[in-house]
Amino acid sequence: MAGFTLDMSEFEGFFVGDKKINISSSAIEEYMDENYERALELLNEDIINNPSDAVLFNNRALTYNKLGDNNKALEDYQRAIDLKPNYADAYYNRASLKDDDGDHEGAIVDISITIKLKPNDAEAFNNRGLYKFNANQIVEAIADFNHAIDLEPNYASAYLHRGMAKSNLKDYEGAKEDASIVINLEPEKFEAYFNRSIEKYALKDYIGAIEDVKIFLNYDANCMKAYRQLSISKIKIDDFDGALTDINSAIDLEPNDGELYEIRGIIYSELKDFDNAMINFDLALNKGKNDSRFYANMAKAKSFSGNNAGALEDISRSLELDITNTYAWETKGNIYLNMGDKETAKSSYLKALELGSTIAQDKIDQLVL
């Protein structure tokens, strides 16, 4: 492979524990059957007859949430808590709603009250771990997942989430191990195969990554991210025809995702079909791709095709967007080296080395030789 750079896929499988529904009303049956409008009508009647019943307000809040009226849901959770200050389930449910609304700190506060009231609730620790993950408190999130696992050693979702958090900290071996535990505990939790594929990709086990994502696709054949993951893994083993087939499948599922066209442009470049490569880079640009990495990849492709002027224009744009992009400095060095300008190539490699490049020193040494 010529060294284009790609991001790993996003994870699959965040599972917040089930909402806490308290069986107290005929409305519950309607709620469970997803007849939310009818459930709301019945709950309104129940509340008129029982205005001091905190459980009814909790259940109506859940129903408002399902109907998309989160403001009324929050009002009802507060009414439930006012009526019953130690109502752990209302705090639990309100935490989930706050997290969904992007109020991760508020969610952490509420779920922490649940944990204080129910210190042996593994689901509550798992959920707080998720809320902390969403708030970018990764180390603290892992501590909560650990606590959930201590309480329930076979809690597959907690292992799944802990693996995601470990991966965020670049502990890919630990993340892979957690995904494997999930698969052993609950083989039907197929998203663990997808996540393990991501870890194997990060660990440069591209064959293993391909094997796992293929298993995932047996369960979910319409997941764009899985075909994307399969494609970029095949690029790494120089299976460009296979990579093209898979990225085409991803594009069929998500035709407006600019990054997919960027990947297809890279594949066509590797196949030396530069006309189709440029068509796809243009499509990516039209669909919103304009980050530093994108321009560096397009510059590399133009350099391969002999369009040095276009390559220099794109690499300049890449560095305008992110002057600290190591890959862009490496690519700039390669472009000038291909043009025979060793001095400018060397200065670009030196800048890449300064930024932490793992390949720039070899490039500089080769120039000396």
Give me the phi and psi of 86, to 5 degrees please: -100, 30
Rounded to the nearest integer, the mean pLDDT of the chain is 92
Which three-class secondary structure state does DSSP give residue 10?
coil
Note the pLDDT tens digit of each residue in 68-95: 999 999 999 999 999 999 999 999 999 9
For 297-346, what is each residue's pLDDT tens digit?
A: 999 999 999 999 999 999 999 999 999 999 999 999 999 999 999 999 99
Least confident of 9-18, 115-124, 242-251: 9-18
8 A C-beta contact, residue 231 and residue 270: no
Task: Spell out the CATH class of 302-369.
Answer: mainly alpha
In the prediction, which pLDDT does 238 show?
A: 97
Q: Give the per-residue pLDDT at 140.
A: 98
Longest dimension (CA), the chain: 89
- pLDDT at 368 > cutoff 60: yes
Q: Are 12 and 225 in contact (CB under 8 A)?
A: yes
Share of the chain above pLDDT 70, in %: 93
136-150 mean pLDDT: 98
* pLDDT mean over 245-262: 98
Predicted pLDDT at 5: 46
Give the domain ranges of the chain: 221-289, 302-369
Q: Give the pLDDT confidence score for residue 21 in this predicted structure.
A: 52
Domains 221-289 and 302-369 share a fold: yes
pTM for the full predicted model = 0.85
> Which of the four pLDDT bands, split at 50, 70 and 90, describes residue 10?
low
Please tell me the predicted confidence (pLDDT) of residue 22: 55
pLDDT at 12: 52
Q: Residue 203's Cα: distance from chain center in Å?
A: 18
Place of tokens 């309100």: 94
pLDDT at 237 over 90: yes
pLDDT, position 2: 45
Averaged pLDDT for residues 170-192: 96
The CATH architecture annotation of domain 221-289 reads Alpha Horseshoe (1.25)
Each residue of 205-242: b (16+ CB within 10 Å) or e?
Answer: bbebbbebbebbbeeeeebbbbbbbbbbbbbbeebbeb
Whether residue 245 has pLDDT greater than 60: yes
Distance CA 334, CA 303 (A): 9
Residue 32's pLDDT is: 86
Q: Residue 201: is its pLDDT beyond 60?
A: yes
Buried b (16+ CB within 10 A) or exposed e, 306-333: ebbebbbebbebbbebeeebbbbbbbbb
Confidence of residue 151 (pLDDT cuts 50, 70, 90): very high
| pLDDT tens by residue, 20-58 | 555 456 778 888 889 999 999 999 999 999 999 999 999
Confidence band, pLDDT 50/70/90 cuts, at residue 281 = very high
Q: How far apart are the first and last CA of the chain?
A: 24
